[in-house]
Amino acid sequence: MSLDNATVRTIANLARIEVPEADLPHLAKELSTILGWVEQLGQVNTEGVAPLASVTGELALPWRADAVTDGAYPDKILANAPEAANGFFLVPKVVE
C-alpha cells in the first residue's frame, strides 16, 4: 500500500501532530513501508495456532501467605520518623 502526501497530512492532523510540508514525502515512504509489513503479516498462515493473551504463556507467580507483619525491622523504619512512640509514628492532630 502506498500513501500519498495528502493521506499522510490527514493522518498527522488526526493524530494532532504537526508535520512540516518538507517532511511529508519521507513520512509517506516510512508509513507505506510499515503498512507493507502489516500486509505481509496478513498473509501468514495461522491455521491451528491458538490465540495468545500473554507472551509469558501459563507462567504462574508464587503465592505467599496474606499475613499482617511488622516488616521484620520496625526500628529501622521508625528511625526515619520525625517523632515516634511505642512503635508508632507520631503525627500532628489535624481534626479539632
Quick: pLDDT tens for 28-85.
Answer: 999 999 999 999 998 999 899 888 877 776 778 889 888 887 778 888 889 989 999 9
**Domain membership flag for residue 47:** no
- Residue 72: the pLDDT is 83
Res. 24 pLDDT band, cuts 50 70 90 = very high
> Domain total for the chain?
1
| Distance between start and end Cα atoms, the chain | 70
Q: Is residue 62 part of a domain?
A: no
Which among 3-7, 60-64, 71-75, 89-93 has the top mean pLDDT?
3-7
The alpha carbon of residue 18 and the mean position of all alpha carbons in its chain are separated, in whole angstroms, by 24
Residue 19 belongs to what domain range? 5-42
Q: Is residue 55, in this structure, part of any structural domain at all? A: no
Domain for residue 79, yes or no? no
